[in-house]
Amino acid sequence: MLPIALALAIITMAPVDGKDSAVPLPAVIAHRGASAYLPEHTLPAKALAFGMGADYLEQDVVLTKDSVPIVLHDIQLDEVTDVAARFPDRARDDGRFYALDFSLDEIRALQVHERSDPATGMARSPSRFPVGKSRFAIPTLAEEIEFIQGLMHSTGRQVGIYPEIKSPRWHRDQGCDISPIVLKVLAEYGYTESGDRIFVQCFDQVETRRLREELGTRLPLIQLIAAPPKSGDDPHATLVTEAGVTRIAEYAQGIGPAYNRIVVSVDVNGEPVFSQLVEWAHRHDLAVHPYTFRADVLPAYSADFDGLMDLFLNCARVDGLFTDFPDRTREFVDRHVRR
């Protein structure tokens, strides 16, 4: 029997030079859809990523006041919607507008826009889709899955989904247990087994283990690993040790580290220095899917986007990556990845 991580990787095999490849190519994971081109997590952004050839489409999931899972990166609404204009008196004491304080009907009334600074209204990435142009909405998790499955039906092309359970501890502190709600929706749309075309991800290592051991899911799990903080304690420091990776392998099928957990520094010549994280993960048959690769935000050690992908796909040999630019990543994987 093939290990789960390898079996899932084989799903993404693509022809190379017109011949079938015997070795799986890395997975192109559309980070919040084709988010370099359209407002993140909108259905048009997912449709564009699908058309660009992504292997997986990501869904960040939070809850509404009426416990409906919606696809939204933050637990707050104000950076990507017009909530402050439509419901100005609904902010909490910190001045933020939380999805959990709004019913689904109220959230359906909001318009989504490119991510912007709530204080100024200025786009976080000015070169991306113009703020306030056209009309976009927040989908429910069920609506998005139906949309993706509809695309698969009409085109005959198969893709995977990649939901993230956001802030489970915060949701529980607010009286809502998000994980079983999300698993229920996934099951309703046929995602229940280890071989299904899905990864479920979470930053909270206690919750990720709980998905497997307490909630009993058989779905492939990814333990997300946050970037190291600029100062103070590192809550994920133990996860990027050999012992930490060994523990992750007890309940998950892969890791999703920030890419500066893999390239951890540069040497005196400006060359990247790699950690042993990928080596340790592969030793335990864990897939490695780092995040987030953006052509418009490059690290100092990379002169261009292709060079950055070459570094991670051909040198570090990761098994897939999260990208805001699924078209450019798809082209690079198909043309330049050496396996």
Amino acid at position 280, single letter = W
Q: Is 1 exposed, middle or buried (CB count within 10 Å of its CB: 0-12, 13-18, 19+)? A: exposed
Q: Which residues, in sequence order, are CB contacts of 197 under 8 Å at separation 6+?
A: 8, 11, 56, 158, 159, 160, 161
Q: In the annotation, is 73 catalytic?
A: yes
Nearest to 272, CA basis, from 319, 238, 314: 314
Residue whose structure tokens are 């990208």: 323
The Cα–Cα gap between 230 and 33 comes to 28
The residue from 31, 113, 171, 284 that is catalytic is 31
**b (16+ CB within 10 A) / e for 270-308:** eebeebebbebbbebebbbbbbbbbbeeeeebbeebbeb
- Phi and psi dihedrals of 212, rounded to 5? -80, -50
Residue 336 is among the residues annotated as catalytic for this protein: no
- The residue from 41, 73, 113, 289 that is catalytic is 73
Enzyme catalytic residues:
31, 73
